[in-house]
Amino acid sequence: MLSEVNSQGADAVSARLAFALQNGHIWPAFQPIVDIQSGGLRGFEVLARWTDPQAGEISPATFIPFLEQHDQIDKLFNHLVYSACPAAADWPGQFFLAFNLSPKQLVGKGFPVELAETVQSTGFPLARFQVEVTESSLISDVEGAYANLNELDDMGIKVAIDDFGTGYSSLARLEAFPFRKLKIDACFVRGLDRDRSKRRIAAAIIGLGQSLGITVVAEGVETSREEGVLRDLGCNLGQGWLYGRPTSKDEARRALQVLSSTSEVDVPLDVSPFQQLHQLATLYKQAPVGLCFLDLSFRHVRANDRFASIHNMTGSELEGKTISDVMSGPTLATVKRILNQSLLSDEPITENYVHGDRHLRVICTRVVDLTGEVIGFSGVSLDTEAPLESCQRVLEGAVAFRKHPPVLRRCPGCSSGSQSQFNAGTS
């Protein structure tokens, strides 16, 4: 149908679009965006749907590029705003509505003021109106886009960068532009519970957003397992078929009544790798026991000076060396046995052994990632020749630290054991 109209020229396209808008063939669909941590409904992305009486459902992948090609996307955007915002103005809660901007709109002169006036005329709060832009839309006119986005931000309209990681990614641009939300593209979300590389990419993007104080939204969430991984990684919001497909305004309002909306936090909680790196460094430095983390090749990835002193080294000198580089004979065989034994157990392995003139007690725990795949070993060591009361106190403190790490439980990409998500010595 659209191809036939396309052959008749721009005037025919404009007339066809006007007819569809006037007769309600094009309508706003509301897709839920949910707080992954609490389960509360936080907002909706408003998407265009075209239901033609003769042709049936016309895919957005077909009509959006078609309208952009014929310079009609502004009319569609305005129709969505004028249709969705008045309908949602009296809905309960502090939810937001998010709309997609085209590259042309993004750099249009006077667009921010026009948009603000349009939204205000609908009765929907400007502070809960959001826009989404793709990375590629920033390329054509960087200065114009920068000016308009800053003006929108000054008005209180939050701007999200959509499909992050699939376009012309620029960390400098992410830092410079006033983005308040970052949306992870669905290609990095679908199947991340089964694909380690996707988990690592998602963890990196989430950590980046957290470090910059940007709310992170995962698109394309389809299963509870994917949601669980995202929750453990500290992702703020989720969008996808797990929470609901784009739906009518009446169904969207009913969804609000079922899932209570929560007010949005301006600055999301920072549980980023950047923050945790410094917390971990402090713990390693100040811990009253030896701490280390070994990879599956039995290399010392991280070790504090107290642990490295067993081998008459500093922590930095020990890191990178395997246990075979610093041990031999019966001691090496004992340590290998302990590591191999912990590889098969969810419970910590505790054992005493002698290394040189040191009598040591070691607590070894396997470290697994969010899906249970073993990625290394956490080790705690202490001298057993210390006074008995002091030794017992140190041991109890080490075990308590392993079981109850209050801040580092959601270290992106890793956890230790089956009960907690971080243990002494992980990095």
Active site residues: 219
Output the six-digit token pair for 365.
């725990």
Cβ proximity of 25 and 17 under 8 Å = no
Query: In this structure, what are the phi and psi dihedrals at residue 295, rounded to the nearest 5 degrees?
Result: -85, -175
Cβ proximity of 344 and 266 under 8 Å = no
Output the six-digit token pair for 49.
């749907």
Angle at 370 between CA 246 and CA 397, to 5 degrees: 135
Ordered DSSP codes for 328-358: -HHHHHHHHHHHHHHHT-SSPEEEEEEETTE
Cβ proximity of 273 and 414 under 8 Å = no
> HSE of 329 in the Cβ direction (CA atoms, 13 Å)?
4
Cβ proximity of 374 and 367 under 8 Å = yes
d(CA 158, CA 149): 9
First-to-final CA distance of the chain: 57
Interhelix angle for 60-69 vs 73-88, to 10°? Answer: 120
User: Looking up tokens 């793709």, which residue turns up?
Assistant: 134
d(CA 242, CA 221): 6
> HSE of 153 in the Cβ direction (CA atoms, 13 Å)?
15
Interhelix angle for 10-22 vs 73-88, to 10°? Answer: 10
Query: In this structure, what are the phi and psi dihedrals at residue 170, rounded to the nearest 5 degrees?
Result: -145, 115
d(CA 194, CA 192): 5
d(CA 123, CA 86): 6
